[in-house]
Amino acid sequence: MKLQFFITITIVVFVVGFLFGGYIYFWQYEVSPLIDRFFQTKINIQSLNDQNNAYRVNIEPDFEKNSEDLKKIRSVFFKPEPVLSYIIFIEMLAKRNTLIHTIISTPTAIAPSSQITVSGTYQNITRFLREIENDSILIRVQSVALQGSGENMSANILLKLQPL
């Protein structure tokens, strides 16, 4: 009886020791690294938040104050040759697709958007838009408003020249 009790106690001690060792191993090699990474990530987020606040306090007011000056400087150095090339390009595409066109606004250094209106068939308007998007000049179609039906369609198109 004493031998069975001693064997039972020994087995219980080994099982408890094994479970306790497994717990320590799991804590040391699985949980602890995750906790370390969690706290490091928290420190990194706090650092980024501090940098963002420093930007808002120190740099953003100066940038907003100088943005009007930057717009004026850009308009002084803006060369009209790209605008002329753009107008020729739009007129050439409209003529090739047998469309009647009106250039409502041309791009500038401050506002690189342009608004045009074209009239013709739906197929010719879609071919015109496809040619604009697939040409080597970087133009993005921002919006298209179609009106009419059949042979008498008109489209009001807002384009944006993409800077290189």
Residue 22 vs residues 17, 25, 84, 102: alpha-carbon distances, Å: 8, 5, 77, 79
pLDDT for 78 equals 55
Closest CA to 104 of 148, 155, 151: 155
Closest CA to 156 of 116, 120, 102, 127: 116
pLDDT tens track, the chain, 164 positions = 788 888 888 898 899 888 888 888 888 888 888 888 889 999 999 998 888 888 878 777 777 777 777 666 666 555 556 677 778 888 888 888 888 888 887 776 666 788 889 999 888 888 998 888 887 777 888 889 999 877 788 889 988 877 54
The CA distance from 101 to 160, in Å, is 17
Q: 3-class DSSP state for residue 140?
A: strand
Closest CA to 89 of 156, 152, 81: 81
**Tokens at 120, concatenated:** 């013709």
Residues 6+ apart with CB under 8 A from 138: 161, 162, 163, 164
The DSSP output letter for 100 is: E
pTM above 0.85, yes or no: no
Q: Could you tell me which CATH number the domain at 81-161 has?
A: 3.30.70.60
